[in-house]
Structure 1
Amino acid sequence: MRTFVHGESVWGVASPRRPSRVAGVTMAGFHVRDLDALRMVPHPAVTLLLEFGAGSAVLDGAAGRRHLGSLVAGPGFGSGGAVWARGENVECVQVRLSPVIAHAVLGVSPAELDGAVVTLDDLWGPEAPRILERLAASSSWDDRFALADALLARRHEARAPVDPEVAWAWERIVGGRGLIRVDGLAEEVGWSRKRLWSRFRAQLGLRPKQAVKLVRFDHAAHRLVAGVGAARVAADAGYADQSHLHRDVMAYTGVTPASVAGERFLAVDDLAWPATA
């Protein structure tokens, strides 16, 4: 486990030694003694949080909604900067699931999450506490990652994947970092625009244009964290101008590009998710 220091925050961070056996799954482990007001920044993945420590994380959302413990959140969760996490002595495995495999792994489509949070108990019933007990009983982070990966692989194998055309369109968007014309995707897969838009939304929980916007924002936000100036980021990420970047960042986070560059949720990625940051 390595140490992440950001201002007064000190976290323990662990990463798996090897990739998941399921393409589209990445994991990281966290031990945080004092999780103080962490803004949740939207990400183009489904988040699965497996919390097993003695403490407990609290997620405060919009309209006063509060969530405790292990949970699942859809892609883009936290838009507007209205969702905050806090807690003491938090230990968890955080899993990022590509929307392409989320239905198979979770048993529900990302579209059914609709940007909301679902507790793991509500989603998996009696299986949830058994999984968390096994994680808590594991003696090392390597064992916890292996346990989580075996669980995800088993669930993934038991269900049908999304349409290959939908998966291909998603990978094109991610691979292009949002710098593609969505109107050309349907023609490339040989479907009508209406059919691709409908199946994409039903299976992944986002419309193609929403996916492009979210992927582009994620790339731009990490460039800002890396210290690249807003004007350069706007040009490289395909925004019309710096004002366009400013509006997108405000819409997703509720803060300016200058402020988002200091967000801990993003700053930890180089350490927690080195292959994807």
Structure 2
Amino acid sequence: MAGFRDRGLTPVDLRVIPHPTVMLALEFGSGSPFVDDAAGRRHRGSFVAGPGAGRRGAVRLRGENFEGVQVRLSPVVARATLGVSPADLDGAVVALDDLWGREASRIREQLDDASSWEQRFALTDALLARRCAAVPSVAPEVAWAWHRIVVSRGLVRVVELAAEVGWSRKRLWSRFHSQVGLPPKRAANLVRFDHAVHRLAAGEGAARVAAESGYADQSHLHRDIVAFTGVTPSAVAGEPWLAVDDIAWSGGRAPAPTPGRCSPASPRPHG
């Protein structure tokens, strides 16, 4: 998790870049951010976004004078933690009030009353741990397949995953899709994209990133970046959504979780 504060100098208007996690955004403070989603809906306050939310640049975060805690949840623990399967989210944005009801208001008040980021992180961590302990996670085979996709940076083949867990490709596709919210191949493509786009944001050249990230050539990388973000590789490299990652998240991306388990947070505040 990471903490964010808008200092109110200029209104926030950010393109949401797709990420291979379920994003939980808990807002508090005097302002109230809102999210415009791909369907033209506007969501105010805290929200949840499924894996890959923001495809083709269709989701934007806007607002001013707000604070928030953002949590990146592995899809394998998202259902246990949030009470909704990533498959039900389908890459969309959902208001937290619609999922948690009064509990969403209570956590907002608690975060607002807290006197430090450390207290806010502790509150959030305790809330998620309590919820995670109450509901079983995904099947161990699905969790293992997700773990292998993440650690391979999206370069493992689906047939290899099926062989490793002892399932047919059809069974793996069906179980993985229903529990993670994406088919295995699309999940691998999203993880590969995430690795590549962060290398671009770090200043590496597109040709080298394409060659070392499993793309057929630079044109293949270009098409993938445009499909995921709606902009070219050179443009996405300067996106503010990515620029803060090396500050807010260790190593630019969340670490790979232990298969099937809720992982402890490593919180960082960011102004």
TM-score by length of 1: 0.89
User: Deviation at 1:36?
Assistant: 2.7
**Is the strand fraction higher in 1 or 2?**
1
Residue of structure 2 in register with 1:273 after alignment: 249
**Structure with more contact order per residue of length (Cα contacts < 8 Å, sep ≥ 6):** 2
Partner Cα distance (2:70, 2:56) in 1? 22
Partner Cα distance (2:221, 2:127) in 1? 39
User: Deviation at 1:61?
Assistant: 2.0
Return the letter of the residue paired with 1:62: A
The alignment partner of 2:43 has SS state of strand
Residue of structure 1 in register with 2:97 after alignment: 121
User: Deviation at 1:276?
Assistant: 4.7
Residue of structure 1 in register with 2:155 after alignment: 179
Say if 1:35 and 1:85, in contact at 8 Å, map to a contact too.
no
The alignment partner of 2:65 has SS state of strand
Aligned with 2:185 (options 193, 200, 209) = 209
1:94 aligns with 2:70: yes
Aligned with 2:55 (options 79, 98, 118) = 79
Aligned with 1:161 (options 133, 137, 141) = 137
Instruction: Report matched runs for 1:257-272 at 5 Å.
Output: 257-272=233-248
When the two chains are superposed, the root-mean-square deviation of aligned CA atoms in Å is 0.9
CA deviation map 1:154-201 (0-9, x unaligned): 000001111110000000000000111112111111011111111101
Divergent runs of 4+, >4 A: none
Partner Cα distance (2:35, 2:134) in 1? 31
1:28 aligns with 2:8: no
Unaligned runs of 5+ in 2: 254-271
Partner Cα distance (2:191, 2:84) in 1? 22
Question: Kindly tell me: are residues 96 and 130 of structure 1, through their superposed partners in 2, closer, same or farther at Cα, counting changes over 3 Å?
Answer: same
Return the letter of the residue paired with 1:213: N
Partner Cα distance (2:107, 2:56) in 1? 32
Aligned with 2:117 (options 134, 141, 153) = 141
Partner Cα distance (1:77, 1:52) in 2? 22
Return the letter of the residue paired with 2:54: G
User: Deviation at 1:275?
Assistant: 4.3
Unaligned runs of 5+ in 1: 1-26
Say if 2:158 and 2:169, in contact at 8 Å, map to a contact too.
no
CA deviation map 1:99-157 (0-9, x unaligned): 01000000111001111111111101111101110010000000000000000000000
Aligned residues: 251
The alignment partner of 1:262 has SS state of coil
Instruction: Report matched runs for 1:54-65 at 5 Å.
Output: 54-65=30-41
User: Deviation at 1:90?
Assistant: 1.4
Residue of structure 1 in register with 2:263 after alignment: none
The percent identity for this pair of structures is 69
Partner Cα distance (1:265, 1:108) in 2? 25
CA deviation map 1:8-53 (0-9, x unaligned): xxxxxxxxxxxxxxxxxxx000001234321000000000010011
